[in-house]
Structure 1
């Protein structure tokens, strides 16, 4: 029996489903801040608890000061990580030349995105995970 066949049997039997749920989640994009990369209602496969790197698209808890009745999660691209230089257009928000330990600066792919240029640092401990890829919705 091949490894793939064994894995399929385990999943079919319900063994390992908890592992899959702990490592991956599906998140639905709301809004256009990641356009043109991701569109409103795109479904993304997110690897939970993976440490983000420069250029990764991450899902994180929305900063408290920006919560309303909207979604609790935001999807943005990592523009700078701990120890990286703060981009010039964000220095007025964070007032430092390098990103603080335990923090990220994030940006949407859409120039009109509401991101670190508006709310500053995103604590790494609020990051759910890193986007692996979009998935085709089954409807």
Structure 2
């Protein structure tokens, strides 16, 4: 009888340890949960939203990423605007990447909140903003969706690709907003 109990307890301990190892490996190398702090990505993501970021995959224009802040001891979430080698310019609230105009539908709500004669995003080029005409190799240029209230690449410069925690893949809280990023 005693032997059966010990065997059963050992079996449970073994199963729990195995599960914890799997969770640790997934969290370190595949994906991790993150809590959004602040309002720089509103309305796409609100303060205290819970998201999952993946640590694998290629980063592309307009992906949302979480990274270690270059100017603080915390993590930021922003949208990738410039990849290595890109030139980026904002002119009259229109985004140009390598001379090609891009629409930013995720800014629609914020643009509707301001007078029509005002710009949501100030005019800039990477050259006049950061002193470089293109995003350097190994770096990204990021901006928040709440352009008038976002501490982002326009303020702290380029972010190192090595500082990335991961790419936003899924929101799991609040439950009524469950789903993939926009």
Among 73, 76, 79, the alignment partner of 1:74 is: 76
Q: Tell me the TM-score normalised to structure 2 length.
A: 0.61
Q: Unaligned regions of 5+ residues in structure 1, if any? A: 1-9
Among 17, 21, 25, the alignment partner of 1:19 is: 25
**Cα contact 1:51–1:129 (8 A) shared by 2:** no
**Secondary structure class of the residue paired with 2:140:** strand
User: What is the CA–CA distance in structure 2 between the aligned matches of 1:72 and 1:18, rounded to whole Å?
Assistant: 21
* Per-residue deviation, 1:132: 0.3
Pick the structure with more helix per residue.
Answer: 2
User: What is the CA–CA distance in structure 2 between the aligned matches of 1:77 and 1:26, rounded to whole Å?
Assistant: 18
**Secondary structure class of the residue paired with 1:87:** strand
Q: Unaligned regions of 5+ residues in structure 2, if any? A: 1-14, 91-123, 176-182
| Residues 47-80 of structure 1 deviation map (CA, whole Å, 9 limit, x = unaligned) | 024442111100011113xx2xxx6100000000
CA RMSD after TM alignment: 2.3
Q: Spell out the pairing of 1:38-117 with structure 2 (5 A cutoff).
A: 38-64=45-71, 67=72, 72-88=74-90, 89=124, 90-112=126-148, 113-117=150-154
Q: Larger C-alpha radius of gyration, 1 or 2?
A: 2
Runs of 4+ in 1 over 6 A off after TM superposition: none
